[in-house]
């Protein structure tokens, strides 16, 4: 009889691998190594807390994605957030306050959540929230940033608070990055990398993988360039089509397998770097890990959503807290149904099955 898939065991082992890779990647940096060693102990304790909740019937994911602002200074081609009308040029008035985010981070730590990915919009526009996050040393906060607002003040903050890890978005070489993100962005990113390297500060990169740039961003030339600047982590985000017309940019099943195989090779070949694929190998994880199976998304107004690519919510963390959001009707039905396990085209099953997701909310 086939063993039932254990999502908690799968996610816990995933966390352990990421932490182990991060420890290995920072061995030559004493300050970073000390922090990662302490963080490794914290993740073990967090896993025990999640296990206790699991025994009570509550599946607490080890990851959260928090979009701490809806404001962004760039207009990147094919941006899912602008297409979903979740990102604006100016700061809306109904954003969560720094104090509200602080309360959520504290609840996350109590629940055993180890990673909170800060996104936006452009998260570095919310300096108040970044300062709050810096104080939560048992949680690692990767910050998905376009890099434009990284300043001397932020370099100092990253130095003093090693749980803040900026992940700058880059699309490959100069031409492809500037074409998608805007003229001069690549040059700003390279300047930032040089300063991170000079100051011996850890940073990573986020790469949106499409059919157009896949070969370039997975090449040894690109990886060695990033490693040469001191990049310690690369998150490969599979492109999710924001319209039916952009589906040709999404990887097909063969390309997804090539991506997974290549990441396995990179992990073996470049031991001083961490490589993560998102959403990653859904087949080995028993389906998509969104909607609280492995993570969920909090939008800038406090809505609890399955994923940034699936902006549907029936619960606000302001009303229910994180614990209540995990048990929302939408999340429960997605976890117990077949949608997350279905075959699909491109990087996101929730985008492909969005009509079924919408039906749950009716």
What's the predicted TM-score (pTM) here?
A: 0.90
Phi and psi at residue 70, to the nearest 5°: -100, 5
Kindly report, residue by residue over 38-95, the tens digit of the pLDDT.
Answer: 999 999 999 999 999 999 999 999 999 999 998 876 666 666 666 666 666 666 778 9
- Residue 179 Ramachandran class (φ > 0 left, ψ -120 to 50 alpha, else beta): alpha
Task: Decide: 173 and 190 in contact? Cβ < 8 Å.
Answer: no
Phi and psi at residue 142, to the nearest 5°: -65, 135
Task: Decide: 297 and 309 in contact? Cβ < 8 Å.
Answer: no
| Nearest in space to 173 (alpha carbons), one of 129, 224, 139 | 224
Q: Which homologous superfamily does the CATH classification assign to the domain defined by 7-360?
A: Aldolase class I (3.20.20.70)
| Mean pLDDT score across all residues of the chain | 86
342 vs 168, more confident: 168
Which pair of structure tokens corresponds to residue 112?
């055993």
Q: Residue 91, class by beta-carbon neighbours within 10 Å (0-12 exposed, 13-18 middle, 19+ buried)?
A: middle
Q: Write down the pLDDT at residue 83.
A: 63
Q: Write down the pLDDT at residue 1.
A: 41
Q: Is the pLDDT of residue 338 over 80?
A: no
CB within 8 A of 221, min separation 6: which ones?
Answer: none
The H or E element spanning position 168 is strand 164-169
Kindly report, residue by residue over 197-229, the tens digit of the pLDDT.
Answer: 999 888 999 999 999 999 999 999 999 999 999
As a whole-number percent, the residues of the chain with pLDDT over 70 amount to 86
């Amino acid at each position: 009889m086939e063993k039932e898939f254990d999502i908690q065991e799968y996610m816990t082992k995933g966390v352990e691998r990421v932490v182990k890779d991060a420890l290995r990647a920072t061995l030559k940096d004493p300050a970073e190594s000390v922090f990662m060693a302490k963080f490794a102990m914290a993740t073990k304790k967090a896993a025990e807390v999640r296990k206790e909740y699991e025994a009570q019937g509550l599946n607490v994911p080890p990851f959260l994605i928090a979009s701490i602002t809806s404001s962004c200074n760039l207009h990147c081609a094919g941006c899912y957030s602008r297409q979903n009308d979740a990102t604006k040029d100016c700061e809306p008035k109904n954003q969560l306050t720094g104090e509200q985010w602080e309360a959520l981070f504290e609840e996350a730590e109590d629940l055993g959540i180890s990673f909170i990915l800060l996104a936006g919009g452009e998260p570095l526009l919310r300096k108040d929230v970044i300062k709050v996050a810096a104080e939560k040393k048992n949680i690692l906060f990767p910050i998905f940033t376009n890099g434009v607002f990284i300043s001397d003040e932020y370099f100092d903050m990253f130095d003093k608070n090693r749980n803040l890890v900026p992940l700058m978005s880059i699309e490959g070489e100069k031409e492809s990055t500037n074409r998608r993100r805007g003229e001069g962005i690549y040059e700003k990113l390279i300047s930032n990398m040089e300063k991170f390297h000079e100051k011996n500060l850890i940073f990573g990169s986020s790469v949106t993988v499409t059919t157009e740039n896949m070969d370039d961003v997975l090449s040894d030339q690109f990886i060695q360039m990033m490693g040469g600047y001191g990049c310690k982590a690369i998150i490969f985000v599979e492109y999710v089509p924001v319209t039916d017309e952009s589906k040709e940019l999404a990887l097909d099943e063969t390309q997804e397998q090539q991506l997974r195989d290549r990441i396995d090779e990179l992990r073996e070949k470049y031991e001083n770097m961490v490589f993560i694929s998102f959403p990653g190998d859904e087949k080995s994880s028993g389906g998509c890990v969104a909607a609280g199976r492995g993570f969920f998304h909090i939008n800038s107004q406090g809505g609890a959503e399955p994923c940034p690519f699936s902006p549907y919510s029936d619960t606000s963390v302001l009303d229910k807290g994180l614990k209540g959001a995990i048990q929302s009707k939408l999340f429960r039905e997605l976890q117990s149904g077949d949608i997350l396990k279905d075959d699909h085209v491109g990087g996101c099953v929730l985008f492909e099955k969005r009509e079924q997701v919408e039906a749950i909310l009716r």
